[in-house]
Amino acid sequence: MKIKHQRTQRRQRLGLLWIGLAPLTLSPAAPAGGRGAVTKPSILLIVADNLGRESVGYYGNRIHATPHLDKLASAGVVFDQCLIAAPLCAPARCGWNTGRHPLRVGINDKQPSPKNPESGLSPKEITIAQLLKGAGYDTALVGKWNLGYAEKFNPRHFGFDQFYGSLAGHADYYTHVYNSDMKIHFYRDLTPVNDRGYFDELFTDEAVRYLQARKGNPRPFYLNLCFYAPHGPYQAPPGYYHSDDREVNYQHMVEYLDTCVGRVLAEVDRLGLAENTLIVFLSDQGGSFKNDYGRTLREPSLKVVCNAAWKGVIPAGKRIGTPWLHVDLFAVFAGLAGVPVPQDRVIDAQDIWPLFEGREWPHDRTFFWKFHKEDAVRQGDWKLHLTGGKVDGLFNLASDPEEKDNLASRHPGKVEELQARQAKWKAECLAQQTSQSGAGVD
């Protein structure tokens, strides 16, 4: 298969030493050699919450001002077909943290609930933070976690050296109250905090302090900065007037998010970190305030904002149309760090680094989704939809990207093939689930 052969070639080119990984045992790997360097790159993953592609300039928006995000996009590669594994906050976070489809993990169409202390990411999972920590990285999570409320689900137990942020799926930006009554979800490491201020301003300040504190530190870092914006409630940020019109507040939140990202990127440049730091910007789902939160398995919900930059390594001004899943970030980051992915479990992530280098990379990969009553499977340009187990559409995305022309009756063989693939995949995932998320809302 081409994807396997090319991945082997890249590892040889970078001079990575791949070592065995016993079940649940992490071993430091030899340094990766990006651009012939002897040090592993630092990784900055910035995530927006419920930011649709219609809200940033480089996907065609002309309403919201996002100059900092547009500049970051122009400095690297923009992915036109980065697909989310599930269109909901917690499953999306489960995906890039574990490299596994959220259905396989058991957090797929429900959020962890504070009313169920057992709902959250299973301690049996191995996160990208744990892999990178084992490879010599300093690791930090700033912002939203949303993978469990009980102490055992705190990100400090999942490979993060530092944590400053919220366990909740959303909260008041100023009072920090979640669901009218819950306040204890904002933490520094394992200790609840009551810091005052607008959530995303606090997260930005913390990220800047984290970067500044690294002066003179030769170790690479992995910083996952997860903003709340522009997830509701729709509250105008500091310096903006609060309107009774939610759409006005939403626009202010998008523009303030852009300002916050700009502050962090400016600090990366000022500290001289840009030449050895991969920066990835991602939205956790395609559904947003502007598109009525279309949490379905249709293309607008699955296609998310994603772009990457790395000064001197990733070519500027590239757009990539090859489809890939956001869970692949797990394998990309592991590959750059020179650490193998776990071998004792199914890892859905694939190392699609050539796409980050600005090269289209055709492959015969099959993509699977399950969300509430919907199923979807995609192979090449063919995509099959099912609702309640019944076929409700077969589409050719090359000629029909908006999924309007149902070809199911004209291609019964393709329907049967894809339906069988989906059924087999779903059965395997359900049999392997490591946890069950309690009911909740996003």
d(CA 52, CA 204): 21
Residue 438 lies in a domain: no
Q: Are 92 and 284 in contact (CB under 8 A)?
A: yes
The reported pLDDT for the residue numbered 60 is 87
Residue 67 lies in a domain: yes
The reported pLDDT for the residue numbered 240 is 95
Q: Are 165 and 145 in contact (CB under 8 A)?
A: yes
In this structure, the answer to whether residues 12 and 63 fall within a common structural domain is yes
Helix axes 2-14, 329-337, angle to 10 degrees: 30
The reported pLDDT for the residue numbered 255 is 97
| Paired residues of 57 in beta bridges | none
Number of domains into which the chain is organized: 2
Q: What element of type H or E holds 418?
A: helix 412-432
| CA angle centred on 57, ends 51 and 62, rounded to 5° | 105
In this structure, the answer to whether residues 229 and 309 fall within a common structural domain is yes
Q: Are strands 221-226 and 191-192 parallel, antiparallel or unpaired?
A: unpaired
Domain end residue (candidates: 356, 382, 399)? 356
Residue 439 lies in a domain: no
Residue 437 lies in a domain: no
Instruction: Indicate the length of the chain as a whole number.
Output: 442
Residue 308's alpha-carbon distances to 63, 282, 321, 325, in angstroms, are 23, 9, 14, 15
| CA angle centred on 157, ends 154 and 26, rounded to 5° | 150
Residue 441 lies in a domain: no
Quickly tell me which residue has 């819950």 as its tokens. 182
d(CA 100, CA 80): 22
In this structure, the answer to whether residues 65 and 135 fall within a common structural domain is yes
In this structure, the answer to whether residues 95 and 198 fall within a common structural domain is yes
- Our CA dihedral for 146, 148, 150, 151, rounded to 10 degrees, sits at -70
Select from 116, 86, 123 the least CA-distant residue to 439. Answer: 116
| Paired residues of 379 in beta bridges | 366, 382
In this structure, the answer to whether residues 399 and 258 fall within a common structural domain is no
Q: Are strands 324-325 and 318-320 parallel, antiparallel or unpaired?
A: unpaired
Residue 95 lies in a domain: yes
- Our CA dihedral for 72, 78, 81, 87, rounded to 10 degrees, sits at 0
In this structure, the answer to whether residues 150 and 234 fall within a common structural domain is yes
Question: What's this model's pTM, rounded to 2 decimal places?
Answer: 0.90
Residue 109: φ, ψ to 5°: -135, 20
Residue 10 lies in a domain: yes
Domain end residue (candidates: 334, 356, 378)? 356
Q: Residue 356, exposed/middle/buried by CB under 10 A (0-12, 13-18, 19+)?
A: buried
The reported pLDDT for the residue numbered 9 is 39
CATH for 371:
3.30.1120.10
In this structure, the answer to whether residues 220 and 257 fall within a common structural domain is yes
Instruction: Give the residue numbers spanning the domain of 377.
Output: 366-432
Q: Buried b / exposed e across 15-30, counting CB within 10 Å, b at 16+? A: ebeeeebeeeebeebe
Domain end residue (candidates: 336, 356, 376)? 356
Q: Are 168 and 154 in contact (CB under 8 A)?
A: no
In this structure, the answer to whether residues 241 and 107 fall within a common structural domain is yes
Output the six-digit token pair for 176.
């920090």
In this structure, the answer to whether residues 69 and 217 fall within a common structural domain is yes
In this structure, the answer to whether residues 252 and 150 fall within a common structural domain is yes
Mind listing the pLDDT tens digit of every residue in the chain (442 residues)? 444 434 433 333 333 322 222 222 322 333 333 433 447 999 999 999 999 999 999 998 878 999 999 999 999 999 999 999 999 999 999 999 999 999 999 999 888 988 888 899 999 999 999 999 999 999 999 999 999 999 999 999 999 999 999 999 999 999 999 886 666 899 999 999 999 999 999 999 999 999 999 989 999 999 999 999 999 999 999 999 999 999 999 999 999 999 999 999 999 999 999 999 999 999 999 888 887 767 899 998 999 999 999 999 999 999 999 999 999 999 999 999 999 999 999 999 999 999 999 999 888 899 999 999 999 999 999 999 999 999 999 999 999 999 999 999 999 999 999 999 999 999 999 998 887 544 444 4
| CA angle centred on 276, ends 212 and 95, rounded to 5° | 90
| Paired residues of 281 in beta bridges | 46, 307
CATH for 166:
3.40.720.10
d(CA 334, CA 399): 35
| CA angle centred on 135, ends 203 and 266, rounded to 5° | 35
d(CA 40, CA 42): 7
Cα 235 to the chain's mean position, in Å?
24
> What are the residues whose beta carbons fall under 8 Å from the beta carbon of 105, sequence distance 6 or more?
94, 98, 121, 122, 125, 433, 434, 435
Residue 218: φ, ψ to 5°: -80, -10
The neighbour count for residue 270, using CB atoms within 10 Å, is 12
Residue 178 lies in a domain: yes
Select from 325, 373, 376, 384 the least CA-distant residue to 350. Answer: 325
Residue 65's alpha-carbon distances to 61, 84, 253, 368, 406, in angstroms, are 9, 25, 11, 35, 37
In this structure, the answer to whether residues 84 and 200 fall within a common structural domain is yes
Alpha helices in 271-339 (DSSP H): 299-302, 329-337
In this structure, the answer to whether residues 347 and 392 fall within a common structural domain is no
Taking only Cα atoms into account, the Rg of the chain, rounded to an integer number of angstroms, comes to 21
